[in-house]
Structure 1
Amino acid sequence: MRIDERVEQLVRDTLHWAVKRQPVEFDEALRAFSDVPTQRSAMELLVAISAFASADICGGEPSPAQIQELSAEVAEAETWSSASAPEVETFLKTILAARPLSGVLPAGSAVVLAFVVAASLLSMRPKGEGEWWFNYLDKVEAAIEAAG
């Protein structure tokens, strides 16, 4: 997957507010995704990030039990958002099965979930000394681009 640099920066800026759990700033950052092509590119990137990070955290393709556990962890960690464990589980199951989110979750809900889940997964993964979520994001994006 080729990552559009402009969209990548918008996604990173919005993920920053999600990781910091700042709902007002997060909502403001979401407004930058005003046109359909930008929204589509952002969602593709967020889905790829979430799929990669969840597989990385689980040591391979997550089992249904691992998805359920990960979903509960994300929902518990992200109580500032409206993400519930069942919604996170639906989101993860859908993206990991490479199915479209349309029709599975309301469009607005899917966008918020995509950011909240990606931010949570990026920040929860154990990192080395001096590493931050955005260092891990660099590695994830490099792997996504390398995979084509």
Structure 2
Amino acid sequence: MKIDERVEQLVRDTLHWAVKRQPIEFDRALTAFSDATMRQSALELLAAIAAFVSADICQGKPTPEQIQQLSEEVAEAEAWSSTTSPEVEAFLNAVVTGRPMSGVLPAGSAVVLAFVVAASLLSFRPKGEGEWWFNYLDKVEAAIEAAG
């Protein structure tokens, strides 16, 4: 997957506020995705990030049980966002299996949910000493682009 640099920076800026759990700033950052093309590009990137990080956390493709556990952990950690475990589970099941989001979640909520899930997974995935979520994101994006 070739990552659009403009979308990447906007996604990173928005992920920053989601990781910090700052709802007002997060909502403001979401306004950058006002048109359908930008939302779709962001959703594709966030889905790839969530799929990669969940596989990394689970040391391979997550099983349905692992997805359920991750979903519960994300929903609990991200209670500020009103994200529910069933929503997270539906999103993760779709991204892990490569299914399209249409029909899984309402179009408007899929992008918000994708940011919350990706931010949560990036922030609670174990990292090395002195490594931050954005350092890990650099590695994730490099792997996504290398995979094509």
Match of 2:107 in 1: 107
- Paired AA for residue 61 in structure 1: K
- The structure where helix makes up a greater share of residues is 2
CA distance in structure 1 between the partners assigned to 2:81 and 2:41 by the alignment: 23
Q: Does 1:65 align with 2:50?
A: no
CA distance in structure 1 between the partners assigned to 2:6 and 2:19 by the alignment: 20
Residue 103 of structure 1: how far off its partner (Å):
1.4
Residue 102 of structure 1: how far off its partner (Å):
0.9
TM-score for both structures, normalised by structure 2: 0.98
Match of 1:12 in 2: 12
String of CA shifts for 1:70-107, please: whole Å, max 9, x gaps: 00000010010021011100110011111111111111
Q: Runs of 5+ in structure 1 lacking a partner? A: none
CA RMSD of aligned residues (A): 0.6
Q: Runs of 5+ in structure 2 lacking a partner? A: none
Q: Indicate the percent of aligned positions where both proteins have the same amino acid.
A: 78
Runs of 4+ in 1 over 2 A off after TM superposition: none
Q: Is the 8 A contact 2:94 2:101 kept in 1?
A: yes
Residue 67 of structure 1: how far off its partner (Å):
0.3
SS in 2 for 1:73: helix
SS in 2 for 1:31: helix
CA distance in structure 1 between the partners assigned to 2:38 and 2:65 by the alignment: 34
Aligned length: 148
